[in-house]
Structure 1
Amino acid sequence: MAKLAFLGLGVMGGPMARHLAAKGHDVTVYNRTPARAAAWVAAHGQRSAATPAEAARGAEVVLACVGNDDDLRQVCTGPDGAFSAMSAGTLFIDHTTVSAQVTHQVAAIASAKGIGYVDAPVSGGQAGAENGALSIMCGGSETDYARAEPVMAAYARICRRIGDSGAGQLAKMMNQICIAGLMQGLSEALAFGQKAGLDGEAVVEVISQGAAGSWQMVNRHKTMLKDEFDFGFAVDWMRKDLAICLKTAEEIGASLPVTALVDQFYKDVQLMGGGRNDTSSLIRRLR
């Protein structure tokens, strides 16, 4: 059992921190909105802190799952950031989906302080976090990853080191690129079937068992057919992730024509007022 700090208690971070506490770890939590941290402590015990530095003080491992590049910089290197209270030999695990560029920057600051650093973005959505069944792709040294893996096992279905610092974030970009294309294809297929007068659920029962099957098809087709999207991974966050993908593609000379197109389709959904809807709401623009 370890003394841990967890920074960020959103729809992903909250359940992940809960799994750590359930495994017997000593967990101190921090959230930008104190009321959310207080609610988490009331539900799961442990304790909360007023700042990232306070949460990190004395912790062997500090984990974060915040919003974006700026949020990560703030909780790590801001005036009350975790790094100011972490000692040499401790470890920082970042579950936020951010750019590889900021990962390199923050990891270098950590290294200069003798702090280990693993970038470890996750896939599996809110359900994966709730059920402790996330896929985690990691970047960092083999030594740091070996220390991080037993901690992350509390909520991982699979956890793998992909390469050095930043490799986890690049792998997560691949994940989001795949989801964007899959979701557009699924949206078109379901909208097509509805226009043709077919029973969408009956069709999916068959085709999901063949070459067209995917996690998105199995887990999202029913709510898509019912026009229900008030859950899951928000369109606003998907566009944040796709912006990272597209910027990185430009930097490395990769071509992402379908991803760029689907990103604009998600912009349409935002303009329709669906920024907080699940990414499966892409089908709305086809109706």
Structure 2
Amino acid sequence: MAKCAFLGLGVMGHPMAGHLARAGHEVAVYNRTAAKAQAWVEEFGGRMAPTPREAAEGAEFVMACVGNDDDLRAVCLGAEGAFAGMSEGAVFVDHTTVSSRVTLDLYKVAKENGLGFVDAPVSGGQAGAQNGQLVVMCGGDQPDYDSAEPVIAAYAKLCRRIGDSGAGQTCKMVNQICIAGLVQGLSEGLAFAEKAGIDGRAVVEVIGGGAAGSWQMMNRYETMLDDKFEHGFAVDWMRKDLAICLATAEENGAALPVTALVDQFYKDVQKMGGGRWDTSSLIKRLKAFD
């Protein structure tokens, strides 16, 4: 069992940190809104800390799952940041989806201070976090990954090192690029079935077991047909992730025409007031623009 700290107790971080505690690890938590940290301690035990530095003191592993590049820098750097409280040899594991640039910057700072740094974004959404069934894609030095993987296993069904620092974030970009196209295709297919006057549920029962089947189809088609979008990964967060993908494509020369188009479709959803709707709400946009 390890001494751990977890920074960020949102819809993902709260259950992830909880799985660490249930697995027997000693967990200290920090959240920008202290009430959330207090609620976590009341549910799982452990201790809360007023700053990332104090949460990280004495921890062998410090996990973070915050909002964006700036949030990650804020919990890592400065006099009250986690790096200031970590002991030499401790490993920082970042589960936030951020740019490869901030990952490489923080990796460099960590190494200069004798710390390990693993970028480890996740896929599986809120349900995956709650059920301890996340997929974790990692970048960083092999020894740091090897030491952190048994701890990450508390909330992961699959954890893999993809390559050197930044490779985990690049893998997550691929994940989001693929999802964007899949959800738009599923939305168009279901909307087409409705226009054609056939039962969308019956259609999915047939095609879901064939070449058209996907996780998105089998886990989202019913709520999409029922016009329910109050679960899963929010449109606002998807646009944040797609912006990272598109900016990286500008740097490496990759062509992402479908991703760029779907990003604009999500912008339309935001204009409809759906920033907090699940990403499957692309079908609602189709119907609105019909």
Q: TM-score, normalised by structure 2?
A: 0.98
Aligned to 2:236: 236
Report matched runs for 1:89-168 at 5 Å. 89-168=89-168
Q: Deviations over 1:163-205 (max 9, x none)?
A: 0000000000000000000000000011111111211111111
Q: CA RMSD in A?
A: 0.6
Q: For 1:72, what is the secondary structure of its paired residue?
A: helix
Q: For 2:29, what is the secondary structure of its paired residue?
A: strand
d(CA) in 1 for partners of 2:231, 2:40? 20
Aligned to 2:224: 224
Q: Deviations over 1:21-66 (max 9, x none)?
A: 0000000011111111111111111111111011001111100000
* Residue 141 (structure 1) shift: 0.7
Residue type at the aligned position of 1:44: F
Aligned to 1:286: 286
Q: Are 2:210 and 1:198 equivalent residues in the alignment?
A: no
* Residue 13 (structure 1) shift: 0.7
d(CA) in 2 for partners of 1:240, 1:22? 32
Aligned to 2:15: 15
Aligned to 1:212: 212
* Residue 126 (structure 1) shift: 0.6
d(CA) in 1 for partners of 2:222, 2:80? 45
Report matched runs for 1:172-191 at 5 Å. 172-191=172-191
* Residue 73 (structure 1) shift: 0.3
* Residue 209 (structure 1) shift: 0.2
Aligned to 2:245: 245
* Residue 78 (structure 1) shift: 3.2
* Residue 77 (structure 1) shift: 0.4
* Residue 11 (structure 1) shift: 0.8
d(CA) in 2 for partners of 1:206, 1:19? 37
d(CA) in 1 for partners of 2:17, 2:232? 18
Aligned to 1:70: 70
d(CA) in 2 for partners of 1:148, 1:200? 44
d(CA) in 2 for partners of 1:196, 1:80? 59
d(CA) in 2 for partners of 1:265, 1:216? 18
Query: Which shows bigger deviation, 245-254 or 42-51?
Result: 42-51
d(CA) in 2 for partners of 1:84, 1:27? 18
Q: TM-score, normalised by structure 1?
A: 0.99
* Residue 79 (structure 1) shift: 3.4
Q: For 2:63, what is the secondary structure of its paired residue?
A: strand
d(CA) in 1 for partners of 2:79, 2:60? 21
d(CA) in 2 for partners of 1:154, 1:48? 20
Aligned to 2:46: 46
Aligned length: 287
Q: For 2:58, what is the secondary structure of its paired residue?
A: coil
Q: Are 2:55 and 1:55 equivalent residues in the alignment?
A: yes
* Residue 87 (structure 1) shift: 1.4
* Residue 113 (structure 1) shift: 0.2
Q: For 1:29, what is the secondary structure of its paired residue?
A: strand
* Unaligned ranges ≥5, structure 1: none
Residue type at the aligned position of 2:238: M
d(CA) in 1 for partners of 2:68, 2:135? 19
